[in-house]
Structure 1
């Protein structure tokens, strides 16, 4: 009888040690870029989450003992989900910044009519946004971003231990303020190409005023598309620097909590 009771107690301890990291890891994997892409099957996501959980359980301290389905138990479960989603969203901001910048270029150049399935979101988006999403994924992987994703998840257990209070209002404001990087990052990605497009539109306007008989509608659109392709070809080799700074800022916020 005593052996059975001890076995149940050990099973309960193992249950709590695995439950909390599994909740945080699963919510993180569900929203994080690359790991949480719509193209990744749910079985693969769950397998990755369980594998990361087993690795984390081996190094994490024992969590506090809580009565199952009590108020504190539910609050702790909510804490794990909120923290996992918040860290995943922080990394998602960088990818959304690039997609927003590409959509701005598409809207200005007339490429927004060309739609294709986005491999990261699983929805239809502009062909240029899908192309830039692939580029940014490759750059992120080249910077060992997948390893930094896991490092940020592991660091979160030190910044926000299981059973501690939810992130404070100041911490949430830091994360919300950091979401503005979507617009600043989009400007860094799109501004060089948009500047070239603005110069081309001004030149076409001057030509239209100088020679009204010319049919600029027939040559304006092909010329704009050609200019966009040339500008992207010239800008892509140098885009790694702003994207690297964008990823470094994202990783710093995710691993330092501020």
Structure 2
């Protein structure tokens, strides 16, 4: 007859529950995985499947009851770590969406907004187009597999423990948030520069011929030039997008590395 003690049962529950919290935290915040169009049951099933695969490879866990105060703190800590890892990748998509917003506003398409299920808000048509393009690069370059591999490695580089994770890790995430502005401006710079030259040319034309209706010819010209520049820039966007996604994976690895306070 097989007998299972309560201590063994609690150890099995902790060995499954604590890795599951980190995995679900990443899935809830990471792009593509955390999209609202993906049903919650699919997300939960994916998290449970990954937890069943990763749990046997997790290093030794602290001898604590999972439902105790210390166990619940570890559970919350693991969820926050996974959330930070997924949020680091989400920042990359936010930078691309900002590039689309800047391009759309410069083109005069600021009124063409739609509901974006990924950002859960209103975004311009150009922003959604670039976001879909980034998702294709994300999947075609197997960045989603690299993200899951980094998640599995994080249980070795940053094992589950009762010690606090440290504030330095979350400061890295906050500093990484600056990529939203720097990378967004860099991606939209060719389109914005061409549209700036177009607006300067339209301003000179209006001064030379005041009888021309600027609103009648200005919007079609800027929109047309914007679409032409997007079409010309599309073949060259895959390389910077893939590099930006690789930088996001590098940031996820930095989050999963131990801080100096933990290595002492």
Instruction: Tell me the SS of whatever aligns to 1:44.
Output: helix
1:1-258 residue pairs with structure 2 within 5 A?
A: 4=3, 6-257=4-255
Render the CA deviation track for 1:46-69: whole Å, top value 9, x for unaligned: 111111111101211231220343
What TM-score do you get using the length of structure 2 for normalisation?
Answer: 0.91
Contact conserved, 2:116 with 2:128, CA < 8 A, in 1?
A: yes
CA apart distance, 1:130: 1.0
Q: Distance in 1 between matches of 2:183 and 2:113?
A: 23
CA apart distance, 1:242: 1.5
CA apart distance, 1:236: 1.0
Q: Distance in 1 between matches of 2:5 and 2:162?
A: 28
Q: Distance in 2 between matches of 1:69 and 1:119?
A: 35
Contact conserved, 2:59 with 2:155, CA < 8 A, in 1?
A: no
Q: Distance in 1 between matches of 2:199 and 2:187?
A: 20
Q: Which moved more, 1:112-121 or 1:217-226?
A: 112-121
Q: Distance in 1 between matches of 2:2 and 2:202?
A: 86
Q: Distance in 1 between matches of 2:6 and 2:223?
A: 68
CA apart distance, 1:164: 4.6
Q: Which moved more, 1:167-176 or 1:141-150?
A: 167-176
CA apart distance, 1:219: 0.6
Q: Distance in 1 between matches of 2:165 and 2:179?
A: 21
Query: How many residues in Structure 1 have an aligned counterpart in Structure 2?
Result: 256
Contact conserved, 1:119 with 1:130, CA < 8 A, in 2?
A: no
Instruction: Tell me the SS of whatever aligns to 2:202.
Output: helix
CA apart distance, 1:3: 5.6
Q: Which moved more, 1:194-203 or 1:236-245?
A: 236-245
What TM-score do you get using the length of structure 1 for normalisation?
Answer: 0.93
Contact conserved, 2:31 with 2:93, CA < 8 A, in 1?
A: yes
Contact conserved, 2:25 with 2:83, CA < 8 A, in 1?
A: yes
Q: Distance in 2 between matches of 1:220 and 1:74?
A: 60
Q: Distance in 1 between matches of 2:12 and 2:65?
A: 14
Contact conserved, 1:188 with 1:242, CA < 8 A, in 2?
A: no
Q: Distance in 2 between matches of 1:164 and 1:148?
A: 27
Q: Which moved more, 1:62-71 or 1:214-223?
A: 62-71
